[in-house]
Amino acid sequence: MYARARLFVIGSVICALMPALRAQKGTSWLNELRQPCAKKYAVYQQQVLRTPSGLYQCLLIPVSGKDTLLRATYDHPSCKDMYRHGSFLFKENGQLRDSGNYFRGKPEGFVYKRLDQLPGYTLYGYKNGVLDGPCMARYTNGILADTFTMVEGKEQGTRLKYHPNGVLKNSITFDQGKRQGMQASWDSTGRLQIRSFYKDDMPDAFYERYGTSRNLSEKGSNRRNMRVGSWYFYRSNGTMASYERYSDSGIMVFVQHYDEQGKPQAFDSLRQNRSATPSGGMNAFYEAVTKEYQVPMAAVKQHQHALIELCFLVDEQGKPTKLKVCNEPHVSPILEQEAIRCFNALNIPWQAAWEHNRPVPVWLKLPIRVDVIH
């Protein structure tokens, strides 16, 4: 088990399920494939039937007699994705996974997809194979997750994103695919986090950020994604921690720190910017995690291996909170549970992050690589 590791994402696709077949009008074929590429379906049979319209209807039917895995129409007997023409329906474990209409291999109209990660499923509009029209996504519980409009492949109008509890998360305005105008974001309780203005897809003009105490945390102005003019930074209790002034080219030309009573104090570079660190340093922390983590016997027997990512918030007092597994989709419940137990068991104190002369909360990610070697 290693504290840090590289993550390689391998996208699984339905591949080599349908070999090329020669077809004649009015006939059908039955082929049996014993090694599906995804290795998670039982032995199934494939049927390819040429319809009176000259198209080919392809079916994948499990020998076990369960629901059809795939029912789709193609304009070529090989039934490859590039030849989709007409309706397409794919099921997995009895649940609808993918459906829609295609024209000469390109999606046309609304296409439904169920996802392994959040949100739960999407319903996007297409025209000539390009996103065009209203699009939406919902969580697995049915709550709206995302809604936006595409015009010829570019976002247009206001995009709204929601938290899993239904509370508005983001409001973003687009013009021909670029963010323009007012933008805002809220946390899952409805507390305003950021208000800003965009021009040509970059922060431009005013910017405001609010802290966990709902007080203003910082405010100032941007010009093409650079700080310009006067910026004010506040502590969670509302007192000003730092005043900074930036040139038109985004270079800080003046800074003044203030103590809790509002009195000017000498500049301290460590108080200006400092990342959150565990007591003893990161290397010692990684070593402690390596020693504490115990691979469950069930995972050993199942030859499980995974990269688990723990996310947690180090608050202004340096206390790790809101610990959670941030893998989407989840990789292994027993390995993830052990990772959470390991982190909580260490109970190592942290030093809070500092920005602009005041402690700030910061989210951190801890990757844990688990490999079972026999």
Same domain, 308 and 166: no
Query: Using CB atoms within 10 A of its CB, is residue 238 exposed (0-12), middle (13-18) or buried (19+)?
Result: exposed
Q: Which residues contact 150 (CB under 8 A, 6 or more apart)?
A: 124, 125, 130, 131, 132, 133, 135, 156
Cα(69)–Cα(71) distance, rounded to whole angstroms? 7
Chain segment 59-97, per-residue pLDDT in tens: 887 766 556 678 888 888 888 888 888 888 888 777 888
Amino acid 303: pLDDT? 65
Return the CATH number at 292. 3.30.2420
Same domain, 318 and 266: no
Residues of the chain whose pLDDT is less than 70? Answer: 1-44, 63-68, 116, 118, 270, 303-304, 372-374
Same domain, 254 and 365: no
333-346 and 282-292 helices, crossing angle to 10°: 130
Q: Which of 81, 109, 92 is nearest to 100 (CA)?
A: 109
Give the predicted TM-score (pTM) of the model: 0.73
Q: Which two tokens stand for residue 318?
A: 């340096």
359 membership: H or E segment, kind and range:
strand 358-360
User: Do the beta carbons of residue 285 and residue 372 sit within 8 Å?
Assistant: no
Same domain, 256 and 357: no
Amino acid 91: pLDDT? 83
Same domain, 245 and 295: no
Amino acid 6: pLDDT? 26
Return the CATH number at 261. 3.90.930
Amino acid 109: pLDDT? 92
Structural domain of residue 229, as residue ranges? 92-270
